[in-house]
Structure 1
Amino acid sequence: MDKDSNFHTWQSRMVPLMYDCFYHHNLHWPTQCCRWGAFLEESTYKSKYRCYFSEQTDDTEPQKLISANIDVMKAHVCSSEVVTMWSEFSRCPYIKDQRIVYHPGEVNKIREIPQHPELLVTHTDSPELYLWNMEKQPNRSREKGSSKASNAPNTPDLRLTGHEEEALFPLATSDTSSYVASGGSDKLVLLWSLQDNMETLLAGTVGTSSGKGGKSPELSARTILRGHSNTIEDVVFKPGSTEQLASVGDDHMALFWDTRSGAAPCGRIPEAHGKGQDVQCVDWDSQGHLVATGAQDGSVRIWDLRRLGSGSFSQLPAQACMAVFRVHTGAIIRLEWHPLERGVLASGGEDQIINVWRLDPDSAASVPLEEVGALPAEGKKRKTTPKGADSDEPRPQELIFQHVGHRRGKVVDFQWSRDSSLPWTVLSVSDDAADEQIGGGSMQLWRINHLIYQDEEAVVAELEKHRDFILKGINAPELETLPRTDEVSKEKASINMDPPANQENAKEVMNDNSKRADDVAEAPTPTDTMEIDEKEKAAVENVSNMDEK
């Protein structure tokens, strides 16, 4: 079976079982970033949110920073028909561009100010950072077809200065106050406080009054941190803090900072992923105990700061490494702890896969080092970490989910939803520029089926409610929460939306869309589709027999 057949089999058979909601949105241009925005409104079956992403264009079009509205189906609402009928070449009808800002240079990274999510900070291919009020900036999409249309970039509401060389990717904002951190090729970590500029930023008077390509006010860095010896790749604030940070880079180190104790690092992990391995990304869990790092070799390491004991430290001991995972087959580009679920981590990168891990943060500090994997210097590796995705070795028990929807390009960014009404929901993007058929980017929204991450007792209890339907096909569950007919009709309409610019693929896409339209038209009812094979029936019966005993 070829790759296309495998993918379509996954889409039609596995997606309805693995996901509670799934959107695919084809982008005309490659992208490097995506972020959730503010909650906007709620209706019967869905909730509307803002989201942000970029498009990296060529010389024929301006670089773009885009604000979009996304209608997210509520939990347990999407039918299997809705989550499987998308096409890789189509744009999702539930995601609609709301505002387009012409950006001065390619957008490499976006971070929102959590207290004011309409305020975005962007990294580009320059030493400066830009800050935007996305609710006040002129909407350039309205200029299309106008005689006044111009490719001149919008004027940022604020420019953050201080880097001596280009700062491409490392960018973070504090969740407690309006602080921004950045790293660059100059080996510096810089911090800015936006407190004194907040009134002007919220008013948005600079971006609307300065015109296109106008001059923005500058804000110099408040703090300069020195300690890295090569390009910095990522930086993150400790949750709940504006003074404590972690950063990683091409010097193979992870450094820890506390600005209250000075401008030098208060802790370091030399050769964090082994000798010669660039460390690409870092994140700090919501409890402040665990730090995750991802590296060029595809490995993910978990560091337990509670193993340090009391007091400050200059070098993190090997005993602080509580786990090493080697499942990814390409460099790790992004990882993020779940903001609402303790011990849950997602990682993604060049192998086009997002892995979701679940650790036990409460027992982490007491697990013996020899059982969880040692640093390379100790010559020991965790036995349950296969070298590649195709390995026959057992997978780590901590790996609970793999998202393989971005098959045409590397995963460059993703973010967990921080809204408790969207449990286990992720927004992710891939750079598909290298793919001859797509040649742009893909944005996906996906929510993991709750039966995958709930504990066994809760799953069995829920299945028991539908025992008769699962085993005998009778007493079907009520389906009043499924999307209304007009909702599904809109989804069907998406099949023929925005065909790809590459005309060589037009016929293939039309045939694919036609087949999908026929499949949808002849699709069985939700009741008919809820079938299980004999093996599944036997498994359920075994659980039932065990309960009776």
Structure 2
Amino acid sequence: MRERGKGTVPSVDERYAQWKSLVPILYDWFANHNLVWPSLSCRWGPQFEQATYKSRQRLYLSEQTDGSVPNTLVIANCEVVKPRVAAAEHISQFNEEARSPFVKKYKTIIHPGEVNRIRELPQNSKIVATHTDSPDVLIWDVEAQPNRHAVLGATNSHPDLILTGHQDNAEFALAMCSTEPFVLSGGKDKSVVLWSIQDHVSILASEAGSTKPPGSISKHATRAGGSNQKPADSPSIGPRGTYHGHGDTVEDVQFCPSSALEFCSVGDDSCLILWDARTGSSPVVKVEKAHDADLHCVDWNPHDVNFILTGSADNTVRLFDRRNLTSRGVGSPIRKFEGHSAAVLCVQWSPDKSSVFGSSAEDGFLNIWDHEKVGKKQDSRSPNAPSGLFFRHAGHRDKVVDFHWNASDPWTIVSVSDDCESTGGGGTLQIWRMIDLLYRPEEEVMAELDKFSSHILTCPS
């Protein structure tokens, strides 16, 4: 073990064993699913069934194979246990090397290349976009796509639409707009590219003399250009706009939650850039050296559009207020969060509370923060903890490459890690919800504890 001062840093196995012993105390519900192949992205799909004790929901993930079988986009059905239903002993009884009974594969799409990113369309959550190691964005209607058997030599599934416009590979930066069926991407060509799926629908409608709802994808179309390497029966469209301002690869992009024409991007040039499609293709605000290293991820607060989060290879998460940024790129973060010991790979605001967000990193941790607690009484109770940190998910044993808050089931998260060497499989998918005593208002928790104490005192021995 590595020495740090007078103490020692626990090994991965020791850290994991300690975490596992605390699972019944820290979690309201927990499910562990050992993957056959690593997954680089995981996303919640639509909820399609509600029962008394659980709900059923689509789950999107990928399988990154070694070439012995094709790469796939997987649509799974997930059973999500409702709050305060699972018993503590049931939560703690899971096998790291087994598949979870809560996760069942529903459909497999044979993907042309590795699936690096998955994003669902808010206006029509059966439509997803994927990034692979190519310049194109692939659009899939996951319900209409046929179920495929992933065996060596199987042909690729055909995307329902291909978005063209990048001049070099675009592997990771991908976002869908919450207000319009717009798609945003960034790539190695240092550009940010914007498309409207509605453009494709409009062209088809004018040709057929009919209309389709936003976010729909037609099967009856011919391709609009592109190279011979693209599937012959997949239509394609070009961008609405291409935006230049980064000096290196664009690693992540995000729409402003209240506008389809405002968005932001981060990249390996350490810059955070804000854009407005109405003002042209140049940056509105460019924050130079937003971090001390490459920026990997960005998210825009859906509750307060002034707040933007960034995560970086400098191991930190930073919070920017766009009101403090100027056209000359002057501006500094209003908060720095220093709770990771390796590069931050993903940041995302909670849909349930405006001041809460999560961050995952190569150190194997998924941290949950509340920026409103920084410097307050609740924050000072754990003097050794990073300021603002109120929960640390330590169930993964290697880098946590992606996670996603569940908008249909409050405080529920799916996370995925690339830890095949330590799990005997391809990686680990975990679905979990921390115990509500950690995030409920303090006065509410204290009142409940008082009620519980009085009940114990009045019970006959």
Is residue 447 of structure 2 the alignment partner of residue 438 of structure 1? no
CA contact (8 A) 2:19 2:394 kept: no
1:306 deviates by: 3.1
Structure 1's unaligned 5+ residue stretches are 365-370, 373-383, 386-391, 477-549
CA contact (8 A) 2:339 2:389 kept: no
Partner of 1:234: 252
CA contact (8 A) 1:236 1:247 kept: yes
Of 293, 304, 307 in structure 2, the residue corresponding to residue 290 of structure 1 is 307
Partner of 1:164: 167
1:189 deviates by: 0.1
Q: What is the CA–CA distance in structure 1 between the aligned matches of 2:350 and 2:143, rounded to whole Å? A: 28
> Residues 117-168 of structure 1, C-alpha deviation per residue, up to 9 Å, x if partnerless?
1001000000011000000001014x87xxxx95101000001001000001
CA contact (8 A) 1:206 1:216 kept: no
1:5 deviates by: 5.3
Q: What is the CA–CA distance in structure 1 between the aligned matches of 2:443 and 2:16, rounded to whole Å? A: 32
Partner of 1:7: 16
CA contact (8 A) 1:232 1:247 kept: yes
Partner of 1:511: none
Larger Rg: 1
1:325 deviates by: 1.5
Of 238, 244, 247 in structure 2, the residue corresponding to residue 220 of structure 1 is 238
Residue identity (%): 41
Is residue 216 of structure 2 the alignment partner of residue 202 of structure 1? yes
Structure 2's unaligned 5+ residue stretches are 1-9, 202-211, 222-229
Partner of 1:31: 39
State the SS of the aligned residue for 1:464.
helix
Q: What is the CA–CA distance in structure 2 between the aligned matches of 1:266 and 1:250, rounded to whole Å? A: 19
Of 178, 181, 187 in structure 1, the residue corresponding to residue 181 of structure 2 is 178
Q: What is the CA–CA distance in structure 1 between the aligned matches of 2:15 and 2:352, rounded to whole Å? A: 33
- Paired residue type of 1:15: V
State the SS of the aligned residue for 1:202.
coil
- Paired residue type of 2:362: E
Is residue 354 of structure 2 the alignment partner of residue 345 of structure 1? no
Of 361, 384, 392 in structure 2, the residue corresponding to residue 402 of structure 1 is 392
State the SS of the aligned residue for 2:23.
helix
State the SS of the aligned residue for 2:144.
coil
1:280 deviates by: 1.1
Partner of 1:411: 400
Is residue 290 of structure 2 the alignment partner of residue 272 of structure 1? yes
Partner of 1:281: 297
* Count of equivalent residues: 429
- Paired residue type of 1:99: K
CA contact (8 A) 2:419 2:428 kept: yes
CA contact (8 A) 1:251 1:278 kept: yes
Is residue 442 of structure 2 the alignment partner of residue 456 of structure 1? yes
Q: What is the CA–CA distance in structure 2 between the aligned matches of 1:475 and 1:29, rounded to whole Å? A: 55
Q: What is the CA–CA distance in structure 2 between the aligned matches of 1:109 and 1:475, rounded to whole Å? A: 58
Q: What is the CA–CA distance in structure 2 between the aligned matches of 1:93 and 1:158, rounded to whole Å? A: 34
> Residues 174-207 of structure 1, C-alpha deviation per residue, up to 9 Å, x if partnerless?
0011000000000000000011334497365269
CA contact (8 A) 2:97 2:425 kept: no
Cα distance change on mapping 1:206 and 1:431 into 2, 3 Å: farther
Cα distance change on mapping 1:394 and 1:83 into 2, 3 Å: same
When the two chains are superposed, the root-mean-square deviation of aligned CA atoms in Å is: 2.6
> Residues 330-367 of structure 1, C-alpha deviation per residue, up to 9 Å, x if partnerless?
10000001123111110001001001110229xx9xxx
Cα distance change on mapping 1:352 and 1:3 into 2, 3 Å: closer
> Residues 469-490 of structure 1, C-alpha deviation per residue, up to 9 Å, x if partnerless?
6568x489xxxxxxxxxxxxxx
Give the structure with the higher percent strand: 2
- Paired residue type of 2:447: A
CA contact (8 A) 2:96 2:423 kept: no
Is residue 318 of structure 2 the alignment partner of residue 301 of structure 1? yes
Partner of 1:254: 272
Q: What is the CA–CA distance in structure 2 between the aligned matches of 1:8 and 1:394, rounded to whole Å? A: 21
State the SS of the aligned residue for 1:117.
strand
Of 395, 401, 423 in structure 1, the residue corresponding to residue 410 of structure 2 is 423
CA contact (8 A) 1:298 1:332 kept: yes
Partner of 1:193: 196
> Residues 71-92 of structure 1, C-alpha deviation per residue, up to 9 Å, x if partnerless?
1011110101221111110111
> Residues 436-488 of structure 1, C-alpha deviation per residue, up to 9 Å, x if partnerless?
5424111111111110011211101111222156568x489xxxxxxxxxxxx
State the SS of the aligned residue for 2:372.
coil
CA contact (8 A) 1:266 1:314 kept: no
1:313 deviates by: 2.6
Q: What is the CA–CA distance in structure 2 between the aligned matches of 1:66 and 1:219, rounded to whole Å? A: 25
Of 131, 154, 159 in structure 1, the residue corresponding to residue 157 of structure 2 is 154
Partner of 1:354: 366
Q: What is the CA–CA distance in structure 2 between the aligned matches of 1:202 and 1:426, rounded to whole Å? A: 28
> Residues 99-126 of structure 1, C-alpha deviation per residue, up to 9 Å, x if partnerless?
0000000000000111101001000000
CA contact (8 A) 1:136 1:204 kept: no
CA contact (8 A) 2:74 2:109 kept: yes
Partner of 2:58: 50
- Paired residue type of 2:158: T
Q: What is the CA–CA distance in structure 2 between the aligned matches of 1:464 and 1:436, rounded to whole Å? A: 43
- Paired residue type of 1:307: N
Partner of 2:103: 95
- Paired residue type of 1:330: A
CA contact (8 A) 2:123 2:181 kept: yes
Q: What is the CA–CA distance in structure 1 between the aligned matches of 2:232 and 2:58, rounded to whole Å? A: 27
CA contact (8 A) 2:38 2:418 kept: yes
Structure 1 moving runs of 4+ over 6 Å: none
> Residues 518-538 of structure 1, C-alpha deviation per residue, up to 9 Å, x if partnerless?
xxxxxxxxxxxxxxxxxxxxx
Equivalence map 1:75-114=2 (5 Å): 75-114=83-122
Q: What is the CA–CA distance in structure 2 between the aligned matches of 1:289 and 1:43, rounded to whole Å? A: 38
State the SS of the aligned residue for 1:11.
helix
CA contact (8 A) 1:254 1:268 kept: yes
- Paired residue type of 2:297: C
Q: TM-score, normalised by structure 2?
A: 0.88
Q: TM-score, normalised by structure 1?
A: 0.74
CA contact (8 A) 1:133 1:204 kept: no
- Paired residue type of 1:100: T
- Paired residue type of 1:449: I
